[in-house]
Amino acid sequence: MTEPTTLYQKFGGEEAIAKVVDYFYDLVLADDTVNHFFEHTDMEKQRRHQTKFISYALGGPNQYTGQSMAKVHTGMNLQPVHFDAIVKHLHDALAHFGVNESDIETALAKVGSLREDILYK
pLDDT at 3 exceeding the cut of 80: no
Question: How far apart are alpha carbons 48 and 26 in whole angstroms?
Answer: 14
Question: How far apart are alpha carbons 75 and 98 in whole angstroms?
Answer: 35
Question: How far apart are alpha carbons 12 and 10 in whole angstroms?
Answer: 5
Range 11-25 average pLDDT: 96
What's the CA angle centered on 104, arms 101 and 108, to 5 degrees?
140
At 1 the pLDDT is 62
Q: Give pLDDT tens digits for 34-82.
A: 999 999 999 999 999 999 988 988 899 988 887 888 999 999 999 999 9
Beta-carbon contacts of 79 under 8 Å, excluding residues fewer than 6 positions away, are 119, 120
Q: How many residues does the chain have?
A: 121
Between 65 and 89, the higher pLDDT residue? 89
Domains of the chain by residue range: 9-118
At 88 the pLDDT is 98
pLDDT at 2 exceeding the cut of 80: no
At 67 the pLDDT is 85
At 66 the pLDDT is 79
Beta-carbon contacts of 114 under 8 Å, excluding residues fewer than 6 positions away, are 69
Helices 13-29 & 43-57 angle (0-180, nearest 10): 130
At 24 the pLDDT is 98
pTM of the full structure: 0.91
Task: Confirm if 91 and 104 have CB atoms less than 8 A apart.
Answer: yes
Residue 87, amino acid: V
Work out the percent of the chain whose per-residue pLDDT is above 90.
81
Count CB neighbours of 31 within 10 A: 15
Which CATH number applies to 9-118?
Answer: 1.10.490.10
